[in-house]
Structure 1
């Protein structure tokens, strides 16, 4: 089954928007998931160009190189585990998890990711966790202890230390500014700059 790999698909809304875009073009995929669309049959060059333009207009990008696809799969795996599960196990071994999921040696994955993204996989994971914490602080439904548990930190202190290192504020200071909407980042724009 032919697959198209798509950059910047980071949430269920992205899946819905991409599925709708394909349907509007008269192309009905077998499956649409984070970063991948499975088709019944391969697209010809002209149709692929139309699909690429549609995706760009929606804020996505068709990935052609194997390296780009692999990095996008890495990002999607991390985002799914952190943002789309009930809680992240504090003992999760990311190197084993990602190696098994992508069926690749972790050192190779890490090296490729760093060389292309300019940030280590470990830093990317931490930044994704911090973005999840920001979102949970914004909704103000959980205590800091519950957020710490949900996002996979061993303690509130560990979360607070990493949060301050990344954002320059403690979670309490961040929450009290109440300007959370402007300080949150889209998941696909996380990089090595201060969050």
Structure 2
């Protein structure tokens, strides 16, 4: 089972913590954390009686590196990793593996909205005409690795397929970073348009 739903909430560019919108915080936590908890609960109900199964949860590099996402999003993804570890500690002895995948910024619909917001660009469909700038932010400023490699949704899917496979049968409680080294010290290029 793959818990892959999530929202960033409010303005991705954020603001000072003292002006955080608590209703937005609660909404993000309800989707990103409570949703994962419900997914783990119900998957475990089906998997534990068979003494086998794999539960995957999407976290984020924003959950392991402060300041790389909005408060609510970052906190929710940090909590997802904690929930994965806690569930893995219990469910391992019962034959169920639980792991997290933490991708870096990726050009999905949610990621694109976040970048547009961060750069102060109007929403898609508002006559913006600057999709090339948004693509460049992902491909050059955010996630280009050595050799011209760029993170794509398929790369995250491959990580999920590995963790769900028998090749990962002895891996549980792990947070697989799919981030091209960003979380271990890769400098963030500040996008400029």
TM-score by length of 1: 0.29
Higher RCO (C-alpha 8 Å, min separation 6): 2
Structure number having the greater helix percentage: 1
